[in-house]
Amino acid sequence: MGTGKATKDSPSCHFSVPPCLPHGLSGIILARNIVFEGRAVIYQHVTIAESDPEKVTYIGDNVMIGAGACILNNVKIGRNVRIGANAVVTQDVPDDCTVAGVPARIVRHEKK
């Protein structure tokens, strides 16, 4: 898997560590007010949108966002989360989960 660096992002989108972009910036849309708290793998055609420009969307450390996934509504994505391809995330996702579907639901929860 190759890595890429985000060369262009929204004015208030913050990456604490450059994300891994296996397919480059191909179709990736990032809204304002997104905080990536750590490592992230973002596949092609991912959209992270906002519903309220005054709120922040948080993406935790060690998150994989599958191709075509949409993250909506200024949610918080926990640490060690996998978001399936084409999933539509409309609610907060706790740590150590895999979510999939429309709307996204927890399909696996790792117990630590």
- Answer for the pair 40, 60: CB distance below 8 angstroms, yes or no: no
| Domains, in order of start, for the chain | 14-109 (2.160.10.10)
Which residue, chain included where needed, has tokens 């639901």? Answer: 105
**Long-range Cβ contacts of 95-104 (<8 Å, 24+ apart):** 95/60
Q: Is the pLDDT of residue 112 over 90?
A: no
Give the pTM. Answer: 0.85
Cis peptide before 103 (omega within 30 of 0): yes
Kindly state the average pLDDT of the residues 4-18: 62
pLDDT tens for each residue of 64-92: 999 999 999 899 999 999 999 999 999 99
Tell me the one-letter amino acid at 10. Answer: S
